[in-house]
Structure formats: C-alpha cells, structure tokens
Amino acid sequence: MTYVVITVLACIGYGALFLVMILFFRNPIIPALVLYGWETINFLLPPLLKKISVIHYLNSLTPVPAPESTPFAVVAEPTPAWIAIPGLLIVTALVMIIASTRIRRMEINYGSD
C-alpha cells in the first residue's frame, strides 16, 4: 500500500510540474529534459539541493531504502513522512494556483482560423 501512495504522490507532483512547464514554455521539451537531468543526478547533489527535488521526498517515503547508485553519491537525511507528504501536496497546490492564474490570463484568438 505504501508504494501505491508513493506512486500517486509522484503522479501528482510531476504532473503539476509538467503542467506548469507546458503553460510557460511554447516548446516544453527543453525544460522537461532539464527536469529529467536534475532528477537523474539527484544522488550526486548536496543535501540542500536534494531538498528541492520531488524524488528526494518520494525516496524518503519508501519502506526499503534504495541503494545509492555510485560510490560518489552524497547521502542526505531522509525527510520524515509527516513533512514529506504534506510538503509535496502543498507544493502541488501552489503550482496549481500558479497554473490557474496563468491560464486565466491567456487569450484565445478564434479569428486566426
């Protein structure tokens, strides 16, 4: 059941980030690749930079910790579940508020067709 909750939180967190990328960039492939690269090298980042990544909070929730990928990996203290879950949900809510204000200000030009 824990892994189902982690999967749902991952879908919510990454879905909100990709929604904002689609709204702010005409071609979201470059920001998506940057986000993918950031999440991929997360194990090499210092602990402070790890905390601004979605994967850090998802890894903190796993019952069996994943082994570090390389000997160069930087170990960070896992975030407790009582902070990680509401933190992800609050960040998602803030991102959705930003997305909703952005979409309200967008203009649709029906005369160009």
- pTM (two decimals): 0.79
Per residue in 60-109, pLDDT (tens digit) is 888 887 666 666 667 778 888 899 899 999 999 999 999 888 888 887 77
| Burial class for 56, CB neighbours closer than 10 Å (0-12, 13-18, 19+) | buried
108 Ramachandran zone, left/alpha/beta (phi>0; psi -120 to 50): beta
Nearest to 20 by CA among 110, 98, 73: 98
Per residue in 25-53, pLDDT (tens digit) is 888 899 999 999 998 888 888 888 888 88
